[in-house]
Amino acid sequence: MITDVGAGPHGQAVATALTRVADAVEGVFGALREVRDASARCVRRRGRPPSTADLAALRPLLWARLTGNGVAALVAGIGFIAAPGLLADAHWYLEWWQENPSGTPVQLLRDLDPSSSAFYDYTHWDWYTGPRSGAERTVCGPYVDYLCTDEYSLTLSVPVVLDGAFVGVAAADVFVRRFDGAVLPALREIPAPAFLVNASGRVVSSNTARWVAGSVYRGAEGFTVRPVRDLPLSLVTTLS
pLDDT digits (tens, 9 = 90+) for 189-223: 999 999 999 999 999 999 999 999 999 999 988 99
pTM above 0.85, yes or no: yes
Residue 16 lies in a domain: no
pLDDT (tens digit per residue) in 46-82:
778 999 999 999 999 999 999 876 776 899 999 999 9
pLDDT (tens digit per residue) in 222-232:
999 999 999 99
Which residue range(s) make up the domain with 68? 23-177
Question: From residue 34, how far is each of 40, 52, 240 by CA, in Å?
Answer: 10, 19, 38
Mean pLDDT in residue range 129-145: 94
Q: How far apart are CA 210 and CA 206, in angstroms?
A: 9
Residue 166 lies in a domain: yes
Assess contact for 157 and 206: CB atoms under 8 A: no
Q: What is the pLDDT of residue 155?
A: 96
pLDDT (tens digit per residue) in 111-131:
999 999 999 999 999 999 999
Domains of the chain: total: 1
Residue 207 lies in a domain: no
Domain with 27 in it: what CATH number? 3.30.450.20
Q: How far apart are CA 63 and CA 72, in angstroms?
A: 9
3-state secondary structure of 206: strand
Q: Is residue 6's pLDDT more than 80?
A: no
